[in-house]
Homo-oligomer: A and B are copies of this chain.
């Protein structure tokens, strides 16, 4: 983002992710996009407030898009923009906005360059259709682009493509201060730390302290995560948590992969 098109960031820009696909709802496929998108939105300073998984049925897609685009600053969708009969996201978004679909010439050229020769058949050309007023989202992996329609960002479902697309949205998804976090892992149960933890949460109201039990190698443990936009508050709360754990006779470990 250049200085000229920046404005004072709003710290509470919100987003919803809409995962479109029967294959997720049937349990056939494990979604691999939400965690990645959530992490990138956080990097951009955008607060992901909810996610939904819906079937690729027109009524469900149109109604959901129209509900969430009113409720949140940004909506990101995944899935349903390929060339087959079950890829209905583009027409559903057009319907939600009450505009027609049109062949986008830049998208057609990108597809033509990728598939070559006379292979840009009618089915593949479906992937160049964008609602009137839409703006392309580049696909560096497989050419078929996503598109932005006002505050709705329509992306592919294939994880490598979806991830590349959300990466490409950094300049368009402007938010505020990212939420930072630190995690502390301890091999005691949640029930043993709960009371003291409530006290720490109360003393650091500008942090959000989460407690996540786990069960690994036959042992229960707890990951305590402190999240805030203020790193000084995070650090102070983490120190209190570590002291609490040591006073219980256990040893806190810093979680390395915290987002």
Q: Does A69 lie at the interface of the complex (its beta carbon under 8 Å from any beta carbon of B)?
A: no
Q: Complex: how many Å from CA A19 to CA B253?
A: 28
Interface string of A12-26 (1 = CB under 8 A from B): 000000000011111
Q: Are B37 and A27 in contact (CB under 8 A)?
A: yes
Chain A residues touching B, majority SS: mixed
A26 touches B38 (CB 8 A): yes
- Across the interface, A25 reaches (CB within 8 A) one of B51, B54, B157, B195, namely B51
Contact A23 B210 (CB under 8 A): yes
Q: Please tell me how many copies of the chain the complex holds.
A: 2
Interface size class of A (residues with CB under 8 A): 35 or more
Q: Contacts A48-B25, A60-B50, A181-B26; is A84 near B38 (CB within 8 Å)?
A: no
Cβ-defined partner of A215 (8 Å) among B37, B55, B142, B209: B142
Tell me, rounded to whole Å, the shortest Cβ–Cβ distance linking A161 to chain B.
8
| A101, CB-defined interface residue at 8 Å | no
Q: Is A99 an interface residue (CB 8 A)?
A: no
| Closest CB in chain B relative to A62 CB, distance in Å | 14
The smallest beta-carbon distance between A93 and chain B, in angstroms, is: 18
- Listed in ascending order, the chain A residues whose CB lies under 8 Å from chain B are 22-32, 34-42, 48-56, 60, 82-87, 115, 119, 121-124, 126-127, 141-142, 157-158, 160-161, 179, 181, 183, 190-191, 193-195, 197-198, 201, 208-215, 220, 225, 227, 258-259
